[in-house]
Homo-oligomer: A and B are copies of this chain.
Amino acid sequence: MKLSVINPNTTRSMTETIASAARGVAAVGTEITPQTSEMGPVSIEGYYDEALAVPGLLQQLSRAEGQGAEAAIIACFDDTGLDAARAMAGIPVLGICQSALALASFIAQRYSIITTMERSRIPIEDLVRRYGHAERCKARAADIPVLSLEDPNSNARDRLRSEIATSILEDRAEAIILGCAGMAELAASLQAEFGLPVIDGVAAAVKQAEALTTLGLATSKGGVYAPPVAKPYHGLLEPFAPEQIQNA
């Protein structure tokens, strides 16, 4: 299976982190195709960045589908543009937040998400509620910029560790979900350090994409995810008109 893993921000080094996490768990026969958005913010921190990251990710998704991808993953923890992506694409599309929450609920009854900044925490709380996990899952912010995760001189990892420790103590978390795609490579070492399951959403989404594909399940097109109605788009976004998006 050809699986597109889309980084919806434009930072290629983060795409590499994500691709590596995806490849590390892919089944035999799953080919990971990493893609980086070509338009929009260098990192997604809050509602504004998130909204402006959507066209770029839809563009990548459309290309991926055109090039034969059988499923796609949006590798940002706020599940950027997930509903629009599901409506646009014929292939299944997974979000890393939704995927991670599903796995957490199979192995624990109380789990916490550790994300980067407060302005990302509240949108994640909304996702947690929408996805039906509000009674079991808390979201915490380690108060670190997204790109600091890539900076070996920052104290980002220490702050992440400290927030995990707090969530175990105060939330009685039985499992931890890493709330940023940029944390993907840390799951194994944190799991070893804290002695409880630590879930990376990128890896979780890879397995869910494989699951859907194997089972012959794709996004239902009979309701809210029906394909966009053909219509003109104007201005800068004219190439995104439904009938034209694959060539955008």
Contacts and interface: CB of A to CB of B under 8 A. Distances in A.
A135 interface: yes
Interface in A80-111: 81, 83-84, 86-88, 92, 94, 98-99, 102-103, 105-110
Given A27-B214, A197-B218, A225 B174 contact: yes
Q: How many copies does the complex hold?
A: 6
Interface in A193-220: 195-197, 199, 203-204, 207-208, 210-212, 214-220
Interface string A93-133: 01000110011011111100000001101110010011111
Interface in A162-212: 168, 172, 174-175, 188, 191, 195-197, 199, 203-204, 207-208, 210-212
B223 A122 contact: yes
Contacts of A55: 51-52, 55, 236-237
Nearest to A54: B51
A43 interface: yes
13 contacts: A39-B234, A46-B224, A47-B86, A51-B58, A52-B55, A55-B236, A103-B208, A103-B217, A106-B208, A107-B217, A107-B219, A174-B220, A195-B222
B122 A130 contact: no
Which of A56, A106, A123, A223 has the most C-beta atoms of chain B within 10 angstroms of its own C-beta? Answer: A106
